[in-house]
Amino acid sequence: MSRLRAKCPHCKTFTAVALGPDYQCHACGAEFGAGLVRVPRAWGKGGGAMAEAASLELPYPEAAVVAESSLGEQTLVLASELPERPLILGGCCCSHVGAVEGLAARYGRLAVVWVDAHGDLNTPESSPSGNEWGMPLRMLLDSGAVDAKDVALVGARDLEPPERAFIDASGLHVGKHAVDRALSGTDGVYVAIDADGLDENEIRSFMPVPGGLTLSDAESLLRGVATSSTVVGAGLSGLIPEPANLEPAARLCAAVGL
């Protein structure tokens, strides 16, 4: 993986060069706010469509494709070789784990805004399915990569009882002022967006749940995050590989300032 050179989405050549957190294509002159890292993996049963969605053509230079054979290896590769400001495209939500771990090592205190219909707070013992994609936020909290007081869970409406108990006990922020509280006192923020956190009629997700954020409400939320803090990275997960997802995905990335 190279942090310095990426494939321009317009020229389809490796002529996009990192200039700090941004990229500029030396062939066509286009400028970009992040380096795209594709993670075509879904750690669970039957998640092939999520993995395929990592191939969606977003308008950002492709810095790397991370397709390791285990979640542990995936996390290590992502954490050690991220672009300065990454845009992660999964795959399942486990793609955010390595990104957050890598960014947490660079910043004194990292906030996480996790947009998801589910809590992703299960453990192998509490998970009804055993699918690791239901555990990534808990992995990050249990590892100490981020602190619960610096995390906002937004849009969650399909929670297992153990996840609700963990939220109550941990101090993880939910509800109206969750984002403001999570950002307070932090040095930067990573924004993780699972498509099922949004309205199923506006973006197609692998595990749709009724009652998600409208796309316009999500954009407003993300613009607020970008105004209140420094967005050091972001990621999209839980999509399915349909062209109709390109526009909403690009709008979400633009709203967060990438």
Q: What is the pTM of this model?
A: 0.96
pLDDT of 81: 84
CA dist., res. 38 & res. 36, Å (int): 6
pLDDT of 4: 84
Edge-to-edge order in the sheet of strand 86-90:
62-65, 35-39, 86-90, 231-237, 188-194, 110-115, 151-154
CA-closest candidate to residue 135, choices 120, 125, 124: 120
pLDDT of 63: 95
pLDDT of 124: 94
pLDDT of 2: 58
Q: Which residues neighbour 205 within 8 Å (Cβ) at sequence distance 6 or greater? A: 194, 195, 196, 198, 238, 239, 240
pLDDT of 78: 95
Angle in degrees, 0-180, between the axes of helices 95-106 and 136-143, rounded to the nearest 10: 30
Residues of the chain with pLDDT under 50: 1
φ, ψ (nearest 5 deg) of residue 169: -85, -25
CA dist., res. 100 & res. 68, Å (int): 17
* Residues 23-41 as b or e (16 or more Cβ within 10 Å = b): bbbeeeebebbbbbbbbbb
Burial label, 224 (beta-carbon count in 10 A; 0-12, 13-18, 19+): middle
Place of tokens 């810095």: 63
pLDDT in tens, 169-178: 999 999 999 9
Structure-block tokens of residue 209: 């749940």
pLDDT in tens, 151-205: 999 999 999 999 999 999 999 999 999 999 999 999 999 999 999 999 999 999 9
